Amino acid sequence: MAATAAKVRIVIADDEPVVRAALAQLIASEPAFDLVGIAEDTAAAIALAERLRPDVALVDVRMPGGGPLAARWILAASAETKIVALSAYGDRETVLEMIRSGATGYLVKGASGHELLETIGRCARGESRVSGEITGDVVAELSQHLERAAQAEESRRD
C-alpha cells in the first residue's frame, strides 16, 4: 500500500472577512491543502501558530497588530512554519520589512488563485516566492545591497 503525502496545513491571518472567506474557499478547493485555522489579528495568529504549528501561515501585512510582528512571533512559536505575506501594497519598503521579518513568500492581493496556490505549495517545500509585480523592486534593492557590500569589502582590502 502506497503512503499518501501529508496535506500542507495552513493558517490564514487577515482582518478582512471577505478576504478570509475567499482564501478559505480557495484553499478548500486544493486537495493537497488543509485549512487548520483562521485569525483576524496578530494575537490570534500567534496563538494559532503556537497551538497548531502550521506548515504555512498566510499573513496580511497590515492587519491589526501588524504583519511583521505576526511573522516574527509566529516563527518564534513555530520555527518550521513558512510565512506568505499578503498585502494590497507592493512597495519595496513593505516587501523588505516582511522578508526581514521572516516571510518566504509575498503576494499582492488580487493575485490569481492559481498564483496563490502555487506560492503556498512552493513555500511549503522551502522555496521562496515573490509576486511578479514586485520582483523587480526587490531584485533592485538586493543588487544595490550587494554592490554596497562589494565596495565596502574593496575599501577594506585597500
Strands (E), the chain: 8-13, 33-39, 56-60, 82-87, 103-108, 129-130
Q: What's the pLDDT score for residue 158?
A: 76
Q: What pLDDT is stored for residue 1 in this prediction?
A: 44
Q: How far apart are CA 11 and CA 59, in angstroms?
A: 8
Q: Is the C-alpha dihedral spanning 69, 75, 77, 78 positive or negative?
A: positive
pLDDT one digit per residue (tens) for the chain, 158 residues? 445 578 999 999 999 999 999 999 999 999 999 999 999 999 999 999 999 999 999 999 999 999 999 999 999 999 999 999 998 877 778 888 888 899 998 888 888 999 999 999 999 998 876 655 444 455 555 556 556 767 777 777 77
Q: What kind and span of H or E run contains 51?
A: helix 42-52
How far is CA 123 from each of CA 3, 8, 26, 58, 146, rounded to the nearest angstrom? Answer: 22, 10, 17, 11, 24
What's the rounded Cα separation, in Å, for the pair 41 and 89?
18
Q: pTM score > 0.85 for this model? A: no
The pLDDT score that the predictor gives to residue 156 is: 77
